[in-house]
């Protein structure tokens, strides 16, 4: 799929360097699932990290590989990668959400969270995704009815979203499934649902 709207290079760099907030990381990962172009860019950015690691002046370890290898139980223990979905994970609510990004599905499965809509308020239903460190921001799924404008909360900054279903329009462009967007400031610039079906998006924001 060729998408029209992508994260800025500097934003992708923050993902690669591991300095992006958890909520923005989630939105970018959902975009990357659908965007080979950004996956390729991220690979190159990761390679910059690898090159800089190579260039680090080594800090001697207080133990050697011998010590690390002697813990047989640790070395051979089955590796349960955090974030990977369990095979049995097929919750009914998700079957009604075919647009759900796999990274978010895995996150909900690991946390044992069953996604449940709240609202609607002014034509918008929401699901709050729990973040481990909530002071950093919020991550929410929004489902907005046709014609509805996405809500604005004054305390939130750096709002970004990936569209998962339907179409949004702001003062600059239209955004379809997979597109990444940063919300402009100002009540008159809020994105509005242009599609005849509801628009679903995953939204991140900072909450200072």
Partner 1 sequence: MPNIAIRPTTRVATRGNNPPSIVTASWMRQVAEDRDEIAFRELFSAFGPRVKALLLRQGADIQTAEDIAQETLLTVWRKAHLFHSDKGSVSTWIFTIARNLRIDRLRREVVWYEFNEQTHDRPSDDPLPDENVARNQEGDLIQSILSTLPNEQVEVIRLSYLEGLSHSEISEKLGLPLGTVKSRMRLAYQKVRSAVEGRL
Confirm or reject binding of residue 75 to partner 1 (CB under 8 A): yes
User: Of these, 94, 125, 136, 176, which contacts partner 1 (CB under 8 A)?
Assistant: 136
- Separation between Cα atoms, residue 161 and residue 31, nearest integer Å: 9
Say whether residue 169 binds partner 1 (CB under 8 A): no
The torsion angles phi and psi of 118, rounded to 5 degrees, stand at -115, 150
DSSP states of 112-129? TPPP--EEEETTEEEEEE
Burial class of residue 118 in the structure, from the number of CB atoms within 10 Å of its CB (0-12 exposed, 13-18 middle, 19+ buried): exposed
Q: Is 103 in the site for partner 1 (CB under 8 A)?
A: yes
Q: How many residues bind partner 1 (CB under 8 A)?
A: 67
**Do the bridges between strand 118-121 and strand 180-182 make them parallel or antiparallel, or are there none, so unpaired?**
unpaired
Contact between 49 and partner 1 per CB under 8 A: yes
DSSP per position, 46-115: HHHHHHHHHTSPP---SS-HHHHHH-HHHHHS----TTPPPTT---HHHHT-TT--HHHHHHHHHHTPPP
Cβ proximity to partner 1: between 91 and 145 the closer is: 91
57 lies in the binding site for partner 1 (CB under 8 A)? yes
120 upstream amide cis, omega within 30 of 0: yes
Asked whether position 122 contacts partner 1 by CB under 8 A, the answer is no
Quick one: DSSP state of residue 155? T
Residue 59 vs 96, nearer CB to partner 1: 59
Name the minimum Å distance from CB 111 to partner 1. 8
Nearest-CA neighbor of 189 among 171, 204, 167?
171
Query: Judged by CB under 8 A, which stretch of 29-37, 89-97, 116-124, 192-200 contacts partner 1?
Result: 29-37
Using rule CB under 8 A, residue 185 touches partner 1: no
Residues 6-25 that bind partner 1 (CB under 8 A): 8-10, 13-14, 16-20, 22, 25
Binding site for partner 1 (CB under 8 A): 8-10, 13-14, 16-20, 22, 25-26, 29, 32-33, 36, 39-66, 68-70, 72, 74-77, 79, 81-84, 101-103, 106-107, 131-133, 136
């Amino acid at each position: 799929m060729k998408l029209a709207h992508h994260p800025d290079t500097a934003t992708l760099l923050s993902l690669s360097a591991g300095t992006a907030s958890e909520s923005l990381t989630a939105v970018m990962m959902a975009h990357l699932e659908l965007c080979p172009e950004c996956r390729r860019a991220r690979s190159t950015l990761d390679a910059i990290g690898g090159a800089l690691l190579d260039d680090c002046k080594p800090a001697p370890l207080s133990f050697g590989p011998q010590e690390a290898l002697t813990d047989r139980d640790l070395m051979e223990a089955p590796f349960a990668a955090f974030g990977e979905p369990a095979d049995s994970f097929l919750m009914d609510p998700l079957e009604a959400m075919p647009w759900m990004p796999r990274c978010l599905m895995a996150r909900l499965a690991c946390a044992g969270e069953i996604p449940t809509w709240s609202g609607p308020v002014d034509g918008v239903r929401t699901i709050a995704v729990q973040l481990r460190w909530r002071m950093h921001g919020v991550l929410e799924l929004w489902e907005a009815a046709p014609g509805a404008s996405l809500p604005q909360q004054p305390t939130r900054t750096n709002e970004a979203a990936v569209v998962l279903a339907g179409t949004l329009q702001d003062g600059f462009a239209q955004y379809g499934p997979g597109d990444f967007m940063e919300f402009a400031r100002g009540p008159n610039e809020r994105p509005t649902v242009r599609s005849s079906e509801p628009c679903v998006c995953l939204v991140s924001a900072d909450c200072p």
